[in-house]
Amino acid sequence: MIIRKLQDIRKSDRNVKSKGWESARLLLKDDNMGFSFHVTTMYAGGELHMHYQNHLEAVLVLKGTGTIEDLDSGITHQLAPGVMYALNAHDRHVVRPETDILCACTFNPPVTGTEVHDENGAYPAEASVAREPALAE
C-alpha cells in the first residue's frame, strides 16, 4: 500500500513547475502502478499548447473554469468542476484557463517525475534523470 500526503509532495522534487502550470506527482513510474497520478494547477490567463505523443491522459477538473480546444477538429469545450476529458488519441489541444484550474490527472504510460513539455507540447517517452526514492508513510 502506498500512502502519500499532497502537502508533502508539494514540498518535494515530485512537485514540478513549468510555464503556466504546477504538478504534484503522487504516483510515478517507479511506484509500479502502470500509470502516474498527478494533482495539477493550470494558471489563469495561460494558453497551454500540448500534444502528448507518447502518453494517454485523463483529467478531472476539481476547481476552476476555462476551455480546451481540440486542434484537429477545432471544437472548443468548456471546463468546469466535474468535467473530465481524456486524450485517448494523442490529441493536439490547447487549454485556456479563465481561472486557476485544479485537476487530477493520470498518464499512461506513467511519467518518471522529471518531465516538462518539449517544443511540441509533449513529454518524452521516458526521462533519463535519476530520482530520489519515493516519499511514503
Per-residue confidence band for 131, with pLDDT thresholds at 50, 70 and 90: very low
Enter the DSSP assignment of 110: P
Per-residue confidence band for 134, with pLDDT thresholds at 50, 70 and 90: very low
- Summary mean pLDDT of the chain: 88
Q: Which sequence spans correspond to the domains of the chain?
A: 23-108
Q: Residue 116 has what pLDDT? A: 64
78 pLDDT above the threshold of 90: yes
38 pLDDT above the threshold of 50: yes
Residue with cell 530520482: 131
Alpha-helix residue ranges (DSSP H) falling in 10-89: none
Q: Is 23-108 a CATH 2.60.120.10 domain?
A: yes
